[in-house]
């Protein structure tokens, strides 16, 4: 009886831990400190080969500016790869960013 109760309690804790990732806030302030204008920004679940659409759309992030982005793609994933493309054509890729644990990500040269 005690073993079943302990197993049920462990299962309940695992379910709660899993739902925490589902409910995590995935809003991230993207800060541009590169000296360049960020023209495009992409975020894709780590392990995916497709960058999806440009999250900025018609917006840009000037040097020194901050832009709030909701990185939630509906999958429940917390780890994303980021790709920023700047006005000179240079792209900076950052891999496996845990958007459930951070609230700010800064691009630097």
Domains and CATH numbers, the chain: 25-107 (2.60.40.2890)
Residue 4 CA, distance from chain mean position: 38
* Amino acid 6: pLDDT: 44
d(CA 23, CA 4): 29
* Amino acid 51: pLDDT: 92
For the segment 89-102, the average pLDDT, to the nearest whole number, is 96
For the segment 15-21, the average pLDDT, to the nearest whole number, is 43
Residue pair 82/32 in contact by the 8 Å Cβ criterion: no
> Token digits for 52?
């999806």
Is-above-0.85 flag for pTM? no
Residue 14 CA, distance from chain mean position: 23
For the segment 21-46, the average pLDDT, to the nearest whole number, is 90
Confidence bin at 1 (pLDDT 50/70/90) = low
State the chain's mean pLDDT as an integer: 84
Given CA atoms 21, 27, 72, 107 in this order, what sign does their dihedral have?
A: negative
Alpha helices in the chain (DSSP H): 2-23
Give the pLDDT confidence of 52-61 residue by residue, as tens digits.
899 999 999 9
H or E element at residue 83: strand 79-86
Given CA atoms 22, 104, 81, 61 in this order, what sign does their dihedral have?
A: positive
Tell me the three state secondary structure of residue 75: coil
Give the pLDDT confidence of 58-90 residue by residue, as tens digits.
999 999 999 999 998 888 999 999 999 999 999
Confidence bin at 10 (pLDDT 50/70/90) = very low
């Amino acid at each position: 009886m005690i073993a079943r109760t302990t197993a049920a309690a462990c299962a309940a804790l695992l379910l709660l831990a899993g739902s925490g990732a589902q409910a995590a806030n995935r809003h991230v302030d993207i800060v541009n400190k590169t000296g360049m204008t960020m023209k495009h920004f992409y975020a894709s679940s780590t392990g995916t080969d497709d960058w999806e659409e440009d999250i900025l759309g018609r917006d840009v992030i000037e040097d020194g500016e901050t832009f709030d982005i909701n990185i939630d793609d509906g999958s429940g994933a917390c780890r994303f790869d980021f790709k920023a493309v700047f006005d000179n054509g240079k792209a900076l890729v950052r891999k496996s960013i845990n958007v459930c644990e951070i609230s700010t990500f800064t691009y630097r040269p």
